[in-house]
A and B are shown apart, each in its own frame.
Chain A
């Protein structure tokens, strides 16, 4: 009987133990489940935030890469542009030189022509009827023909600081001479840069120079080691010309 009671007690004890174990186990599972859920809830929020943040960071990185690529492209283009610009500037400088838009210096000759007012007065006094005033003043044609004679030997020519360019026209208007539409007054100083001897030879070859020497107009020619010739100060307006194909 005692053995039976002991067995009963044992069974009750074991049942109690199992129950306690079971309760603990089940509650443990619940707790585990719940705490897991809570942890999951916190974790999921953080994880979602983290994922968002990482996506944002990735987007930022992509944007940075894009900008860096764009900058690199612009810089390489800029470098090309810079070399293009310096090449263009060199071309422009050469054009400025050939267009007479740069002041030049070099050896050459200076020709001085002046009206002979004194001679004219004396001639008028001596022979009022036979006196020809035109023989005592410098004419536009004198300048025009002298310049054309000097042209093939001269690298630059100016008349009283007016640079002679391709389209320079010389004319008289009453008693004044216009060069590049600018009124000039005597004495006239023609400066030409080039080989002084060649320039003098060209001058000697000129009919107009030779005839001037026979007139009453004082003509003075001096070679010079260094002459300064001013740049063309006018405009280059092109209204009718367009580029034609170079062929």
Chain B
């Protein structure tokens, strides 16, 4: 308010000074005082003009922050405060979302971990992967009267004794493994009688392939338990010795390697829908 009155009066006086300067009181040749007066008036006029031009109302510097118009500043403050509130709201929302997402991801991770653990277990247990571990190795050095069902019994005994996996001559035994026999005949001349005779030999086969000697049965598990499971009075090894006079070599091992089994595709079975 006072500022306005001041600028109004300064304006009026500046106008008057201008009039005095342009139209002096006497038209006679200007005296020294008149000249000084005129020069002073002009100087003041110029100063006034400069001040007026520099005034905050005119110079438009109010938008600057240092000496800005409080009203405009207040408006800006209001605006920035509103903006800040909106940003805080957004931030809160995002923080919640982040926490929820992290919790979900954590659950997902634990689910993935459990699925992975199960996969690893089943890969080891089902013959889908090569495995190693401690165990025993039973070796039949040469062909004997050992029959294919003795081999089936031996494998059965190993599983009864806690074997986790069994391999015969490096091939993993699975629920699909066939152990059978194959007859092979050969004709020879009997020098004593001078007649030809036919000899028939029975060879043990595994998955249709003849097993060669030395025949090696490996099992992964607790080596001592596996050995005890086979070699006890009345146990399978003693029975084999009594029946055929064969005494396979039984050795414990700290690392037995059993390769993966061949994968079997189902062509007849489908999972039973519950």
A residues with CB within 8 A of B:
10-11, 14, 17-18, 20-22, 24-25, 27-29, 31-32, 35-36, 39-40, 42-44, 46-47, 49-51, 53-54, 56-57, 60-61, 63-64, 67-68, 70-71, 74-75, 77-78, 81-82, 84-85, 88-89, 91-92, 95-100, 102-108, 141, 144-145, 148-149, 151-152, 154-157, 164-171, 193-195, 205, 207-208, 228-229, 236, 238-246
Contacts and interface: CB of A to CB of B under 8 A. Distances in A.
A78 B101 contact: yes
A138 to B, nearest CB: 16
Given A47-B66, A144-B152, A236 B121 contact: yes
B175 interface: yes
B174 interface: yes
Given A67-B95, A81-B108, A82-B108, A242 B127 contact: no
Given A47-B66, A53-B77, A194-B268, A10 B109 contact: no
Closest 9 CB pairs of A and B: A47-B65, A152-B178, A103-B272, A60-B87, A46-B73, A169-B159, A104-B269, A95-B122, A240-B133
Contact of A243 (B90, B131, B173): B131
Contact of A49 (B9, B68, B77, B221): B77
Contact of B67 (A40, A144, A238, A245): A40
Contact of A106 (B121, B207, B268): B268
Contacts of A71: 94, 97-98, 101
B216 interface: no
Interface in B155-195: 156-157, 159-160, 163-165, 173-180
Contact of B105 (A74, A151, A167, A207): A74
B257 A24 contact: no
Contacts of A156: 269
Contact of B112 (A88, A194, A244, A245): A88
Given A28-B10, A97-B266, A21 B121 contact: no
B94 A240 contact: no
A202 B152 CA distance: 16
Contact of B40 (A18, A27, A74, A229): A18
Q: Which of B56, B173, B269 has the most CB of A within 10 A?
A: B269
B251 interface: no
Contacts of A35: 2-3
B268 A39 contact: no
A106 B268 CA distance: 6
Q: Which of A31, A60, A68, A104 has the most CB of B within 10 A?
A: A60
Contacts of B121: 236, 238
13 contacts: A17-B20, A20-B13, A25-B13, A43-B68, A43-B70, A60-B88, A91-B119, A151-B178, A155-B264, A156-B269, A157-B175, A169-B156, A236-B122
Contacts of A88: 112, 115-116, 119
Given A81-B112, A164-B175, A56 B126 contact: no
Interface in B52-67: 55-56, 65-67
Interface stretch (B43-51, B138-146, B241-249): B43-51
A236 B33 contact: no
Given A39-B70, A157-B175, A239-B164, A102 B101 contact: no
A193 B135 CA distance: 33
A212 B224 CA distance: 37
A236 B159 contact: no
Contacts of A246: 129-130, 260
A102 to B, nearest CB: 5
B68 to A, nearest CB: 5
Given A43-B69, A60-B87, A25 B164 contact: no
Contacts of A242: 124, 131-133
Contacts of B125: 99, 166-167, 236, 238, 241
Given A54-B80, A244-B132, 17 more contacts: A10-B26, A18-B37, A22-B44, A31-B6, A53-B84, A57-B80, A67-B94, A67-B95, A92-B115, A95-B122, A97-B266, A103-B272, A104-B271, A108-B268, A145-B149, A151-B176, A193-B268
Contact of A241 (B119, B124, B268): B124
Given A148-B178, A240-B164, A244-B131, A39 B124 contact: no
Contacts of B9: 24, 28
B22 interface: no
A34 B173 CA distance: 103
Contact of A102 (B156, B178, B271): B271
